Every structure is written in structure tokens, then in C-alpha cells.
Structure 1
Amino acid sequence: MNKQVQIQDLGLKDYKDTWDYQEELFQNILNLKSQNRKNEHAIQSTPNYLLFVEHPHVYTLGKSGDLAHLLLNEEQLAQKNARFYKINRGGDITYHGPGQIVGYPILDLDNFFTDIHKYLRFLEDVIIKTIADYGLKGERSEGETGVWLDVGTPFARKICAMGVRASRWVTMHGFALNVNTNLGYFDHIIPCGIRGKAVASLNVELGVEKVDEEEVKQKIVHYFKELFEAEFV
């Protein structure tokens, strides 16, 4: 079991280019697992990755999502300087853009634990612990993956969206934490297909102009390492 996780910070990178890169890493792990099954006498350990990235304005729709939840046509998307992709993760529609920390763990869960439900809960816990360091109480909302604030009140709002894909215990896609995000872009979708639910950003909640994103990433890495008992390289 290889619990080493390679961190790669891709900076500002186009969504489709990043998706293609994820698919490449994802497929390489699947191929290696296939080789290991065929040759049990020369098993090679499978790698794990945690990609950090920031995307230009983009809306993505999960495989079970409803296109009606995008409230812009092609011309309006162009006016907003935004792109749109239908993708192969779970979940409905979401927005990615500047000021948002996106994390894509590409893990072979055979190296950790083979339980997708536990995996999602651990990702939520990483974010809950991270924002707790800033004095915010992150919570789960029953039946709605991600991290929320003020659950059970009229002011419930999502601060971190999640959607993953897994095959043979290998994961891709991940989480998007609003840190210094322009929340106006969420007005053009029904976020995650949930009507009447608002969104939040860390800087707005803290009443500051800008939160140090590098510091937030360091906290995410710290809690990821703690929960997954991982070693970062």
C-alpha cells in the first residue's frame, strides 16, 4: 500500500486541459493495476496525486445533471467570458473560477480504504477542519454532498462543492472551495441543481477583501495528510 501522495499545483489552467491531464493520470493508474493483476509476481505500487488548480470562468455539468440548470445561452456565456462542459463526474452543475481553490485527488483507494462513502466524508472533513481554522463551522447537509454553513436555517449556503468519479477504486475530480470567489457567477446556474440554496465564499464570511490562498492550501494538505494518513512528496 503506497500512501505517498504527489502534490502538483497547476496554477491557473484551462478546465479542459486539466480534465485531460486528470484522465491521463487516472488511466495510467488503471493500466498499472491491470498489469499487476496479470503479473502478481512483479507488482508495482500505484501512485497517488493531489492536484491544486484555479480555473478561468467555467460551468461544468455532471453526468446526472440537468442542462436546464444552466441559465445562460451560448452568447451569454461568451459575454461572461465563461465556458461550459458536460463532464463525467457525479453531481449536477457547478461553477469554477478565479479565487476558488479546486482540488483533484487522483488516488488509488486500494492504498487507503475501499469505501467511496468514507472517501467523500473524508474530503468533507478536510474542508470542515480547514475552515474551522478561520472560525467557521462547516457542516454536512443531509443528502447533499459538500460543505455548508448554517445548515437547517433559512441562511444555509454552500462554501465547498464536491463531485467525484471512481473506477476500480481509482478517483478523479474532487472539491471546489470558494475562497476569494466572485459569487455573482453562481447567479447564472441553479447550483448543484438545488433551488433556493445560496453559496458562500471564505473572504465574504470573514469580512475581508482577500484571504491568503496559499495558506488555505497548506491547511488542506495538513488535514488531508492527517485524515488519510498520507505522506506528501
Structure 2
Amino acid sequence: MSLQVKFEDLGLIDYKKAWDYQEQIFAEYLQLKAINRDIPGEKQTEIEGKVIFCEHPHVYTLGKSGQQNNLLIADEFLRKINATYYKINRGGDITYHGPGQIVGYPIIDLERFNLQVKQYIANLEQSIILTLEQFGIKSERLTGATGVWLDTNIPGKTRKICAIGVKASRFITMHGFAFNVNTNLEYFNYINPCGFVDKGVTSMEKELGQKQDINQVKEILKKKMEEVFGMNF
């Protein structure tokens, strides 16, 4: 049986505004979970959860375990390329968000789905892998790293198409994934993506040789997430 989850597409939205919105929902769910602990099961309020899709204006975000020196440019150059920068509370190192990239923020209760964090991340990866498969792009996981990659067995050609960095507290999740569809990849030149210096970055547009209908990609991705997680939007 699929579990009902709310879905919202925020379109193009400022990173901080979306982060604040996530934090608000995250805090509400944590509070509800704390209340539920003191209530008999049949009287508990179910945490339905919400999956958010959006795009951001040019922005770099550094995870709590990330290294500042993986941002290769100074503040003045950030302003020149119309980009902003935030240190945030997810796992992982530095990444870039920008127009043409599907950013997904699932805010769900993993216990409702009988998931541990490791399997949750694997499910996110699998949803992207199955989406890319629909477009004839073969992708996979990379041992020792999160995200979705291409040509993992070819040294010098391994490249990431989707970054993943999450936060979880009491099994409530926030943050999520950044899936390059029509992303301007030049912006990755100014960072060591996810801390890697020996691996590249790619997008669906680059792999397929033309811009993709991002709304079509979103619809397929939603279906794949429903299948993989056993959820229903």
C-alpha cells in the first residue's frame, strides 16, 4: 500500500527562502513526533510528509562537514557571477544550485516508511537512476560516495549528474538532492564539487546534446519516487 505524501513545486525560489520554509516544516514535524511519543498509537497524528521540488538562482552551499577551501573564488567574484553562498546544516561538502536543476527536498518521517538513513539515500539515488533510464542514460552509484554518477569504471571520465546531501533528526529528513537537467555547468568550475578534485559534473542536456523539458523530467521523477518509496502524491 502506498503512503500519501504532499507534493509542492515552488518553481524558481531564493535559496534562503526555501531553506527557511523547509526548516519550518521540519520543526513542525519534529514537534508533532515529540507529542506522538506520549500518546497511544491509535490517537497519534500521522506525519504525512511533504516532497518539495524547486529551482534556485545561482548559489553555492557548503555542508557542515565541508571544507571552505572547496569554494575556489572570493566574495567579489561571487557577486560578479550573480551567485550567493551559504554554510548549511546538511551532510556533505560543497555543491552548486542554479536554474535548470531540479532540487528536491523530501521532508518525511523515515519510520513511517521503515527506512534507515542509508536506505533513504539509496532510494533517492534509485529514483534518479530510474528517471535517467527513461531517457536512455545509464547511471549508477559510486562506491564510497553519495549521488548518481556516469561511467564510474572509466578513470578520468567519471562524472556526477545528481548530488545528494541530507539532514535527519528523529528520523525526520530535510535537504535532499540536486539533479542536473539543463544546468549551466560552468558554475561548477568555481568549486571542487562535493569535495572531489578528480571527478567531473554533467547534466541531461550535456549527455543528450539538447535542452530537456524539465517539467517532463519532474513528472517522471515524481512517478519513480512513488514507485521506489511506496508513496503517493
Q: TM-score range by the shorter chain?
A: over 0.9
Matched to 1:174, the amino acid is: G
**In structure 1, the residue corresponding to 2:90 is in which secondary structure?**
coil
Which SS does the other structure have where 1:144 is aligned?
coil
Q: Which amino acid aligns with 2:34?
A: S
Correspondence for 2:11: 11
Q: Distance in 1 between matches of 2:128 and 2:177?
A: 9
CA distance in 2, matches of 1:58, 1:130: 25
Q: Does 1:51 align with 2:49?
A: no
Question: Counterpart of 1:158?
Answer: 160
Question: Matches of residues 67-216 of structure 1 in structure 2 within 5 Å?
Answer: 67-153=68-154, 154-208=156-210, 210-216=211-217
Contact 1:36 1:44 in 2 (8 A): yes
Structure 1 equivalent of residue 29 of structure 2: 29
Q: Give the CA deviation at 1:5.
A: 1.0
CA distance in 2, matches of 1:97, 1:231: 28
| Post-superposition offset of 1:39 | 2.3
Task: Determine if contact 1:30/1:170 at 8 Å carries over to the other structure.
Answer: yes
Q: Which runs of 5+ in 1 are unaligned?
A: none
Q: How far off is 1:4 after superposition?
A: 1.1
* TM-score, length-scaled by structure 2: 0.97
**Contact 2:2–2:232 (8 Å) recurs in 1:** no
1:87-125 superposed Cα distances (whole Å, 9 cap, x missing partner): 000000000000101011001111101311111101000
**TM-score, normalisation: structure 1:** 0.97
Q: Aligned residue pairs: how many?
A: 231
Q: Which ranges of 4 or more aligned residues in structure 1 deviate by more than 6 Å?
A: none
Q: What is the SS of the residue equivalent to 1:140?
A: coil
Question: Which secondary structure does the structure 1 equivalent of 2:37 belong to?
Answer: helix
Greater Cα shift, 103-112 or 33-42: 33-42
Q: Distance in 1 between matches of 2:23 and 2:129?
A: 28
User: 2:18 is matched by which residue type in structure 1?
Assistant: T
- Report deviation, 1:2: 8.7
- Give the secondary-structure state (helix, strand or coil) at the position aligned to 1:53: strand
Would the aligned equivalents of 1:2 and 1:111 in 2 still touch at CA under 8 Å? no
Kept in 2, the 8 Å contact 1:99–1:180? The answer is yes
Provide the C-alpha distance between the structure 2 equivalents of 1:6 and 1:227, rounded to a whole number of angstroms: 16
Alignment RMSD: 1.2
Letter in 1 for 2:56: H
Letter in 2 for 1:36: N
